[in-house]
Amino acid sequence: MSYAQDVLAKLKEKNANEPEFIQAATEVLTTLEPVFEKHPEFEKASLLERIVEPERQVMFRVPWVDDNGKVQVNRGFRVQFNSAIGPYKGGLRLHPSVNLGIIKFLGFEQIFKNSLTTLPIGGGKGGSDFDPKGKSDREVMAFCQSFMTELYRHIGADTDVPAGDIGTGAREIGYMFGQYKRITNQYEGVLTGKGLTWGGSLTRTEATGYGLVYFANEMLKDLNTDFNGKTVVVSGSGNVAIYATQKVQQLGGKVVALSDSNGYIYDEEGIDLAAVKEIKEVKRGRIKEYLEYRPNAKYTEGKGVWTIKCDIALPCATQNELLIDDAKALVANGCILVAEGANMPTSLDATKYLQENGVYFAPGKAANAGGVATSALEMSQNSQRLSWTFEEVDEKLHNIMISIYKAAYAAAEEYGKEFDGKKDLVSGANIAGFMKVADAMMAQGVC
């Protein structure tokens, strides 16, 4: 048994009740096997055993009072996975599905993603099983204040800098920042995704979606084509999906579908993004309300967004939302490119099927790294007490996405990883992200 497989077997035994973490680790460790053949010193240093074990994880009670005066209790998490190349950095997810295994999978992926950004940030992730949907603003504030009342002691501008994720947008970051400041009496860049008048960065809202499309555009160049005239299906209708749609439209592509956890809309004339923004960003409504703006569009309850014929698919909702049958439908419909905006939206077998059937595939840890990269740019601006223009940040983001693509491509090339003449960017991203962290860990001794 290879070193990576041996570590994986022990990991599965130890973390049997964390399937998402095991799924993420399986993908990474399997693709790293050739690296360990080339670098036996990593095995002697037990680098893998160390990298799969979080440096620290905290789990805590979050009590808050609802609008009926009843005390509610949620569970809070922060997993500080790896600080070899910088302070822990990663979002806070607020969704009823959150548990330790989900946060560990996200934190683990974050290590390699953050390394790929070329910026000095370690990997972490956090959140709670609190569901902001259907709660009043006051209830959300009560939760966020209670959450931060424990979290504040574990984070700091040079220690751990959380950000948004599913369910955590500008409103939640605002309430948490206010509470942090109140408890610590420090005005510091301890959270990213802040409002523009109080330390936020221009382009942060757009960054993950824009970055995803910049990345996909580099892939299209290698296929000797571009977005112009392409039909695109995007899943989700949150932050990542909305700004991916916007950038695709700017580049001449036509997005025909978006979804949420209830169902999906299909608009063959192309999505009216102003309507989606009003529904999702202003009214916090459901995607089916799109029919009130565009009565000719179609709404279908349930999953199935991947059965729509498209050239390019951008999964931007959540983990394991693109499964083997979805991959088969995409291939049968002539899809040429899949780039992940969400974290681990594609199951392992679906990824393999897409790659083996000629689809050029980009893993989320490379393709959606624009969000955390821009968060790191927000940290830089906070440290300098400066604000850069939209154009400056957008240009930096664009260049970072090109560098990530080049790094993943080059690592895939170095290790001869490809499918049908297309680079295996899953292996490439894992190897490139890992090598930088591995070098730092080797240099820092046993810790």
- Annotated catalytic sites, by residue? 125
Pairing of strands 160-163, 88-94: parallel
Q: Which residue is nearest to ligand NDP (CB)?
A: 238
How far apart CA 322 and CA 408 sit, in angstroms, is 22
Task: Pick the stretch among 78-86, 182-190, 259-267, 305-313 that binds ligand NDP (CB under 6 A).
Answer: 259-267
Q: Of the two residues 12 and 294, which places its CB atom closer to ligand NDP in the complex?
A: 294
Q: 190-219 mask for ligand NDP (x: CB under 6 A)?
A: ------------------x-----------
CA distance 187 to 391: 26
The site that binds ligand NDP (CB under 6 A) totals a number of residues, namely: 24
CB of 382 to ligand NDP, least distance (A): 17
The beta strand positions in 249-305, using DSSP E, are 254-259, 263-266, 298-301
CB of 254 to ligand NDP, least distance (A): 20
Residues 276-335 that bind ligand NDP (CB under 6 A): 316-318
Minimal CA–CA distance to 310: which of 243, 258, 387? 258
What part of residues 358-387 is at the interface with ligand NDP (CB under 6 A)? Answer: 368, 371
- Map residues 32-71 to x or -, x wherever contact with ligand NDP holds by CB under 6 A: ----------------------------------------
- CA gap 79, 106 in Å, rounded: 9
Query: Can you list the alpha helix ranges (DSSP code H) found in 127-238?
Result: 137-151, 170-184, 204-222
Calculate Rg over the CA atoms of the chain.
21
User: Is the distance from CB of 89 to CB of 122 less than 8 angstroms?
Assistant: yes
Query: 157-176: which residues touch ligand NDP (CB under 6 A)?
Result: 164-167
Taking each helix axis as running N to C, give the angle between helix 348-356 and helix 324-332, from 0 to 180 degrees, rounded to the nearest 10: 20
* Dist CA 93 CA 29 (whole Å): 25
Instruction: Rank residues 151 and 212 by Cβ distance to ligand NDP and give the closer one.
Output: 212
| The one among 31, 246, 343, 427 contacting ligand NDP by CB under 6 A | 343
When asked if residue 261 is in the footprint of ligand NDP (CB under 6 A), the reply is yes
**Min. distance of Cβ 305 from ligand NDP in angstroms?**
10
Residue closer to ligand NDP, measured from CB, 159 or 261:
261
Q: Is 82 helix (H, G, I), strand (E, B) or coil?
A: strand
Report the residue number, 123 or 164, with the smaller CB distance to ligand NDP. Answer: 164
Say how far apart CA 304 and CA 154 lie, in whole Å. Answer: 41
β-strand pairing of 254-259 with 337-339: unpaired
The 215-254 site mask, x for binding ligand NDP (CB under 6 A), equals: ---------------------xxxxxx-------------
Q: Could you give the CA distance from residue 383 to residue 154 in angstroms, rounded to a whole number?
A: 20
Nearer to ligand NDP, 218 or 438 (CB): 218
* Shortest Å distance, C-beta 125 to ligand NDP: 9
Considering the complex, what minimum distance in angstroms separates the CB of residue 301 from ligand NDP? 12
- Minimum gap (Å) between residue 346 Cβ and ligand NDP: 11
CB of 342 to ligand NDP, least distance (A): 3
Nearer to ligand NDP, 167 or 200 (CB): 167
In 404-436, which positions are buried (b, 16+ CB within 10 angstroms) versus exposed (e)?
bbebbbebbeebebebeebbbbbbbbbbbbbbb
Q: How far is 213 from 339, CA to CA, in rounded Å? A: 8
- Smaller CB separation from ligand NDP, 149 or 239: 239
Cβ contact 94:107 at 8 Å: no
Phi, psi of 175, rounded to the nearest 5 degrees: -65, -40
CA distances, 105 to each of 55, 99, 227, 229, 360 (Å): 14, 10, 32, 36, 24
Site for ligand NDP in 80-109 (CB under 6 A): 95, 97
- DSSP symbol at 192: S
Binding residue for ligand NDP, selected from 342, 379, 407, 437, defined by CB under 6 A: 342
Closer of 47 and 265 to ligand NDP (Cβ): 265
CA distance 359 to 216: 12
Give the residues lining the site for ligand NDP (CB under 6 A).
95, 97, 164-167, 208, 236-241, 260-262, 316-318, 341-343, 368, 371
